[in-house]
Amino acid sequence: MKQTVGRFAPTPSGRMHLGNLFCAELAWLAAKKEGGTMVLRIEDLDPQRSRKEFANIMQQELIWFGLTWEQGGDLGGEHPPYCQSQCGDIYRQALQQLQSKQLVYPCFCSRAELHAANAPHLSDGRYLYAGTCRNLTLQEQQQKAKEKHPAMRVRVPDVEISFCDLLYGQQGENLAQEAGDFLICRADGVFAYQLAVVVDDLRMGVTQVVRGRDLLGSTPRQIWLAQQLGAQQIPTYGHIPLLLDQNGDRLSKRDGALSLDNLRSRYTAEQILGKLAWLAGLIDRPEPASLPELIAEFSWEKLPKQDICIPNGLF
Ligand code: GLU
């Protein structure tokens, strides 16, 4: 059997918060439980939002916690580059591959038009693209291109994509009805997360994707894209519940009290990892725990499916 290759894929748009660390810890434990290795990929796709200094601090912090990786980040490895900002040519090739299969079309819609025309997705408030630019003739495309640089969308078929999530079990989605034609490149030339993440997971040999359940809904689109790009093997996916603050809100990179800086000045790595492992249901008490102990305790069956509120006084 192929060795498990897990990954962390942080976006360096700010300092890591506890939720990011929780995800890194569980991804690491899930991979190590299977004797696997980890990749660190810096998702600095959007130059406006990403800063090199945050990527540097993230790496130092992960190392401080012992959540090390075998390839990626400043360490390098056999599948460079590991920073998405350096992968433009690679994403362009993937875009061309999709174009050669007639799966891509230019979209000239403005933000305002998208808001006005798009139908909300039934279950989760996402918007389905109304298809305005789907069937433009070549002539119409050329005409519009004189006025505006287009974004690029993929034309999704009317198919059901299903997969078995390591925590949430059987999942499925009809792409045309529930996801719609989605963006793979923005009008300003920045490639979309959906394309980049798929291309990178494939080329870095990632076999297991562990990440927040906010990305569960992206997975069918990503599996389909991977298939279109000729993936030999699609990774397994395990989504994890999100950590919430005491008000039930998602943690943000601006949340000072739960910032890693603050926590690292008050606790040891084992104390923080132990508290997070307790929140994940891996251990019975929020006590310090070493990574080898936590590998032994890790099991997908112990994780809750509901989001987790950090109780008052835990940190
Ligand atoms: N870069 C994304 C984030 O920091 C994670 C993407 C993924 O895990 O697929 O939220």
Instruction: Tell me the domain boundaries of the chain.
Output: 5-87+207-309, 88-196
Q: Which fold has domain 5-87+207-309?
A: Rossmann fold (3.40.50)
3-state secondary structure of 68: coil
Which structure tokens are listed for 203? Answer: 């080329």
Residues in the chain: 315
Cα 219 to averaged position of ligand 1 atoms, centre (Å): 12
Position 213 scores a pLDDT of: 96
Please give the helix or strand (H or E) that residue 228 lies within, else none: helix 219-228
The β-bridge relationship of strands 151-154 and 104-107 is: antiparallel
Cα 136 to averaged position of ligand 1 atoms, centre (Å): 33
Q: Is 79 exposed, middle or buried (0-12, 13-18, 19+ CB in 10 A)?
A: middle
Position 123 scores a pLDDT of: 64
Q: For residues 45 and 224, what is the distance between their CA atoms, to the nearest angstrom?
A: 21
Position 117 scores a pLDDT of: 79
The answer to whether the beta carbons of residues 191 and 152 sit under 8 Å apart is no
Q: Ligand 1 in contact with 10 (CB < 6 A)?
A: yes
CB atoms within 10 A of CB 261: 11
Please give the helix or strand (H or E) that residue 52 lies within, else none: helix 52-64
Buried b (16+ CB within 10 A) or exposed e, 216-233: bbbbbbbbbbbebbeeee
Over its length of 315 residues, how does the chain's per-residue pLDDT go in tens digits? 689 999 999 999 999 999 999 999 999 999 999 999 999 999 999 989 999 999 999 999 999 999 999 999 999 999 999 999 999 999 999 999 999 999 999 999 998 888 887 777 666 677 889 999 999 999 999 999 999 999 999 999 999 999 999 999 999 999 999 999 999 999 999 999 999 999 999 999 999 999 999 999 999 999 999 999 999 999 999 999 999 988 888 887 666 667 898 899 999 999 999 999 999 999 999 999 999 999 999 999 999 999 999 999 999
pTM, 2 dp = 0.95
Position 113 scores a pLDDT of: 84
CATH class of 88-196: alpha beta
Cα 142 to averaged position of ligand 1 atoms, centre (Å): 35
Q: For residues 249 and 261, what is the distance between their CA atoms, to the nearest angstrom?
A: 20
Q: For residues 45 and 10, what is the distance between their CA atoms, to the nearest angstrom?
A: 11
Q: Report the candidate in 173, 225, 172 with the shortest Cα–Cα distance to residue 202.
A: 225
Compute φ and ψ for 268, nearest 5 degrees. Answer: -85, 165
3-state secondary structure of 30: helix
Q: Ligand 1 in contact with 17 (CB < 6 A)?
A: no
Cα 10 to averaged position of ligand 1 atoms, centre (Å): 6
- Measured CA distances, 125 to 119, 178, 244, 249, 273 (Å): 9, 11, 20, 18, 34
Position 205 scores a pLDDT of: 97
Q: Which of 39, 211, 221, 237 to mutate to test the pocket of ligand 1 (most atoms within 8 A of CB)?
A: 211
The β-bridge relationship of strands 236-240 and 243-244 is: unpaired
The answer to whether the beta carbons of residues 38 and 31 sit under 8 Å apart is yes
Q: For residues 186 and 193, what is the distance between their CA atoms, to the nearest angstrom?
A: 10
Q: For residues 10 and 98, what is the distance between their CA atoms, to the nearest angstrom?
A: 26
